[in-house]
Amino acid sequence: MQVFLQTIVGGVSLGAVYALVALGFSLVYRTMGLVNFAHGNVVTVGAYLASTFYLSTKLPFALAMIIAIVVTGAIGLVIERVLRPLENKDFDLMLIGTIGFGIVLDALIIMIWGATGRAVPSPVPTAPIDIFGLRIRTYDLVVLAIAALATVLLVLFLSRTKRGTAMQAVAMDHEAATAVGIHVGRSNATAFMIGAGLAALAGGLVGPLLYVSPALGGALGIKGFAAAILGGFGSIPGAILGGLAIGILDSFTAGHFQGYSELVTFLVFTVIIMVRPTGIFGERTVNRA
């Protein structure tokens, strides 16, 4: 039982990061019907930016993170603007276009920061706290708190603000949204920007948990995507739950299958998707088959 709980605890903080990545995927999908395959690479950019400002310019961790979020948000705007002609037209082409962006970002990352990675020291004391015999790292709690805060802010933005409501409306019916006076393109750009910002947040947070390298985003991106689908693509609670589920699944497979954890994770994921293509909170997604 102890081991079991410890495994869950171990998976939760990484799960929270997956959840943030999944939120970005879901938000963009929800508003634009687009899967951003470059999302993972944006995470890497965010991780590098945050760690660079934190390590070399000695900015406080929080400030470094904010700068990273702003810069990646701008990258999100660029991606949306370039792919805008394909919006609401060819789904698969747009998907491939974002893969192209991913390749470009990947190359830029290596050009700017080099192919080798870096370790980021934890910004809070490293000694784990002991709660009922479970050892929890302080930083894990920080990650959880920030992820929860980001989720709450996002939900508030979407449900309480005029712009947030309009963004949801665009996702549901872009023609009706146009008719009530909403600028669909601008709304999509906002979605993309926020999505990229969430990616940077995830990247910045994961820095002290994992090793920051050009390969970071690939792994986080695909797991975050899997999390989004698992929870029900486009659903915000789904993204959170999916993220945590994948995090815990990861933790379990790492414990039981060591090197083969990735293999097992993806096999389990594939089976779940085949049994329930709409995910946990899936509304019936648009069937474009």
Partner 1 sequence: MTTGLALTVEGLTVNYGGVSAVRDLSFEVPGGEAVGVIGANGAGKTSTLKAVMGLVPRRSGRLRLGDVDLGGVSARNMVRHGIGYVPEGRHVFTGLPVEKNLLLGAYARKWDSSTKATLSEVYDLFPVLGEMRHRLAGALSGGQQQMLAIGRALMSQPRLLLLDEPSMGLSPKLVEDILAVLLRLRSEGLTLLLVEQNAKLTFEATSSCLVVENGAVAMTGTSAELRNDPRVRQIYLGL
Partner 2 sequence: MKRLLVVAALGVAAWFLPYGLDSYAIHVVNVILIFAILAIGLGLVMGIAGQVNLSQVAFFGVGAYATAILTTHSGMGFWVAGVLAILATVLMGLVIGTPALRVQSHYLGIVTLGLALAFTNWVTNASLSGGAEGISGITAPTLPGVDLSSEYIYYYLELIVFAVVLGFGLFVVRTALGRRMRAMRDDALAAGALGAEVPMLRMTAFMLASVYGGVAGVLYAGLIRYVAPESFNIANMFLLLAMVIIGGRQSLIGCVVGAVSLALVRELLVDHPTIAQLAYGSVVVLVVVFAPTGLAGLPRRFRAYLDHRRGTRGTAAQLRPFQPYEPEAVSRSTQDQLLRVEGVTKQFRGLKALDDVSLTVSTGEIRGIVGPNGSGKTTLFNVISGLYKPTSGRVIFRGADMTGRAPYRLARAGMARTFQNLRLFGDLTVEENLLVALDRWSTLSAWRYALRPLSVLRRDRALRRSAAEVLERYGLTEFASLAPKSLPYGIQRRVEIARAVAADPALLLLDEPAAGLNGEEVRQLAEIVRSIRDSGRTVIIIEHNMGLVMSLCEQITVLAGGRVIASGTPAEVAVEPAVIEAYLGDSMNTDDLPVPSAGEATR
Q: Which residues bind partner 2 (CB under 8 A)?
A: 35, 37, 82-83, 85-86, 90-97, 99-108, 110-111, 218, 222, 225-226, 229, 258-263, 266-267, 269-270, 273-274, 277, 287-289
Output 148 or 283, the one with its CB closest to partner 2: 283
- When the beta carbons of 67 and 191 are compared against partner 2, the nearer one is 191
What one-letter code names the amino acid at 33?
G
Write the single-letter amino acid at 145.
Answer: A
The residue with tokens 């939760």 is 12
Contact partners, residue 246, CB within 8 Å, separation at least 6: 15, 18, 223, 226, 227, 230, 265, 269
Q: Record the tokens describing residue 100, joined without a space.
A: 């192209």
Q: Which residue stretches of the chain are H helix?
A: 2-32, 39-55, 61-83, 91-113, 138-160, 162-172, 174-179, 184-206, 216-231, 236-257, 261-275
- CA dist., res. 174 & res. 261, Å (int): 41
Q: For partner 1, give the closer residue by CB, 126 or 178.
A: 178
96 binds, among partner 1, partner 2, none (CB under 5 to 8 A by kind): partner 2
Q: Give the list of residues 6+ apart from residue 140 with CB closer than 8 angstroms, or none.
A: 9, 12, 13
Contact of residue 63 among partner 2, partner 1, none (CB under 5-8 Å per partner type): none
Please count the other Cβ atoms lying within 10 Å of the Cβ belonging to residue 49. Answer: 24
Minimum CB–partner distance for residue 97 and partner 2 (Å) = 4
Task: Look at residue 133 and give the partner it binds from partner 2, partner 1, none, a contact being a CB closer than 5 to 8 Å depending on partner kind.
Answer: none
262 binds, among partner 2, partner 1, none (CB under 5 to 8 A by kind): partner 2
Q: Closest approach of Cβ 166 to partner 1, in Å?
A: 6
Least distance to partner 1, CB of residue 236, Å: 12
In the complex, minimum distance from the CB of residue 186 to partner 1, in angstroms, rounded to a whole number: 10
Nearer to partner 2, 101 or 252 (CB): 101
Q: What, of partner 2, partner 1, none, does residue 95 touch, CB below 5 to 8 Å by kind?
A: partner 2
Question: Where along the sequence are the contacts to partner 1 (CB under 8 A)?
Answer: 162, 165-166, 168-169, 172-173, 175-184, 283
As measured in angstroms, the least distance from the Cβ of 175 to partner 1 is: 6
Question: What is the spatial distance between Cα 193 and Cα 285, in angstroms, rounded to a whole number?
Answer: 23
Residue 91 interaction partner, one of partner 2, partner 1, none, beta carbon < 5-8 Å per kind? partner 2
Question: How far apart are the C-alpha atoms of 149 and 205, rounded to whole Å?
Answer: 13
Supply the minimum distance, in Å, between the C-beta of residue 248 and partner 2.
17
Question: Cα separation of 220 and 21, whole Å?
Answer: 7
Which tokens sit at 236? 């915000």
From partner 1, partner 2, none, which one binds at residue 157 (CB under 5 to 8 Å depending on kind)? none
Read out DSSP for 191-213? HHHHHHHHHHHHHHHHTTTS-B-
Shortest CB 119 distance to partner 2, Å? 21
